[in-house]
Amino acid sequence: MTGFTRALRGEAYLLTRRRGYRWALAAVFLTALLHALGSWILLEMNHRAGGPGPGESGDWNFWPRFASSARAGMFLVELFLVALVAAAFPRETGTGSVRDPLVRGISRDALVSARAVTALTLPLILGGAAIGAAALGASLCFEAGDVMEEGFAVFGEAEVRTEVMRALGHGFPALLALGALAVLVSAWLARGAVAVAMGIAVVLLPGILPGGLSSWAPWMFTSTLPGLGKESYLGKAAEFAAGYADALPWSFESVVTAGWIAPWPALLLFLAAAILVFRKRDL
């Protein structure tokens, strides 16, 4: 059995045993589920106060509620991804537990590579939980179908469904790149709080760029994250599904294209850098 395989088995054990991962999974699931239920309560209260009801507003449709609840869960996915992965190596270095696999013949490269697999698997698990919970909550409270406004169909269900499902898939490359970034700061920085803070700072960077550089923001993968991203396709798709035709102008297609492309070079760069810096890190 190779060093990488043994390291990967250790990571799989931690992924299923650490309470932090289980708490994150539960929190993401409940957030997305309760967001859908809370949306129904607010809409129902508004309807009883004289506001629009089912068939009178696109907000009562399944698809916008599904998309917005999934995005609510993705907020937590991104925060947990940075917090759990970025703090891991600093914590293990401080307790000395990181030395145990090394003295057993597992190389530093194998250890970082196995941690990277965990960091790339975690957003798939947590993101899947967010989507599943959002679908469950929205299906319990809302009906799918054409998007209606004042009794007239604004968009067909097929058009809205395609846009929402495309937006859900669009966010995952950025989530994977975020996991790779978390591995890099974890392998590089000695203090867990600093590593997490740097990861969060990179996530928030596109939103604070000066006006002259804002046109480059879509090519920063964090800009297209489904939850915290300034140019979240999922957020735009939720608005579109609610009946707002101007939520997805033709100009936004360039942002969508950037979101499919930009995360992959960033992911490879972060993983390569993580391996290099961990080779020289004091343990």
Q: Report pLDDT for 130.
A: 97
Summarize the confidence of residues 6-11 as an average pLDDT.
Answer: 86
Each residue's pLDDT tens digit, 191-245: 989 999 999 998 887 766 655 455 676 788 899 999 998 889 999 999 999 988 8
Each residue's pLDDT tens digit, 254-274: 989 999 999 999 999 999 999
Q: What is the DSSP string of the chain?
A: --HHHHHHHHHHHHHHH-HHHHHHHHHHHHHHHHHHHHHHHHHHHHHHTT---TTT-GGGBHHHHHHHHHHHHHHHHHHHHHHHHHTHHHHHHHHTTTHHHHHTT--HHHHHHHHHHHHHHHHHHHHHHHHHHHHHHHHHH-B-SSEEETTEEEE-HHHHHHHHHHHHHHHHHHHHHHHHHHHHHHHH-S-HHHHHHHHHHHHHGGGG--GGGGGGGGGSGGGG-TTT-TT-HHHHHHHHHTT-GGGS-GGGHHHHHHHHHTHHHHHHHHHHHHHHHHHT---
Each residue's pLDDT tens digit, 102-141: 777 888 899 999 999 999 999 999 999 999 999 999 999 9
Q: Report pLDDT for 212.
A: 45
